[in-house]
Amino acid sequence: MSPKDLIEDNSKENSAKPPTSVPQDSVHQSIDNIVDSITSGQQLSQESVFSGRQDIESVKSGRLQTNQLNLMKNQIFGIEMPFDVISAAFASTVAIGGLMGYLKAKSTYSLIAGLVFGGVLGFGAYQTSVNPRNYYLTLGTSVVLGALMGYRALNSGKFMPAGLVASLSALMVIRFTVRYITDTNYIRK
């Protein structure tokens, strides 16, 4: 038998089989709901996804009960924030610092580095605002920025501006390390 004959025989066998008993619409809706919840920063419980058609329809239409949905929220000392204020403030401080370095010392390196690092940190702040557990970009950028500016501060012997940025970066690294260890940013219901 040639490979072509095998393919034709296999297609005839598959077309003769009856369809499976699982409705494909509910499987696709369930997968769509899981993807939608992940992209919106929400976590669905297993019950709300797999307990039946009624739950799938309630997830699809957005009518979820509070016990079916666990939301991740940004909190600072127990106070809910609409976005990650600390990371956004750090990103803007780095970007403004680069601009100030350019205006005062005509340093294009300060401008480029400040805007690049500030932009990356700003995107990291957005990611952390959407999902508080997605802090890896901000953490990594803070480590790199802290190391570079710490090196510059040690070589120059001056605290401003490199020592200040290195200190702020170290605080951000400590913040996200504590978040990683204690996992206090996730509300469990």
**pLDDT (tens digit, 0 to 9) for every residue of the chain, 189 residues total?**
555 555 555 555 555 555 444 455 554 455 555 655 555 555 544 444 444 444 445 545 555 443 333 445 666 667 777 888 999 999 999 999 999 999 999 999 999 999 999 999 999 999 999 988 889 999 999 999 999 999 999 999 999 999 999 999 999 999 999 888 887 555 554
Helix ranges (H only) for the chain are: 3-16, 24-39, 46-50, 53-61, 85-105, 108-130, 136-156, 162-182
pTM above 0.85, yes or no: no
Report d(CA 157, CA 117) in Å as an integer. 23
Environment class of residue 77 by beta-carbon count within 10 Å: exposed (0-12), middle (13-18) or buried (19+)? exposed
Phi and psi angles of residue 134, each rounded to the nearest 5 degrees, phi first: -100, 70
Give pLDDT, residue 98: 95
* Bridge-based pairing state of the strands 74-76 and 79-81: antiparallel
Q: Nearest-CA neighbor of 90 among 122, 134, 114, 128? A: 122
Give pLDDT, residue 180: 86
Determine contact, residues 48/69, Cβ cutoff 8 Å: yes
Instruction: State how far the alpha carbon of 34 is from the alpha carbons of 42, 45, 126, 134, in Å.
Output: 9, 10, 22, 18
Place of tokens 């739950």: 55
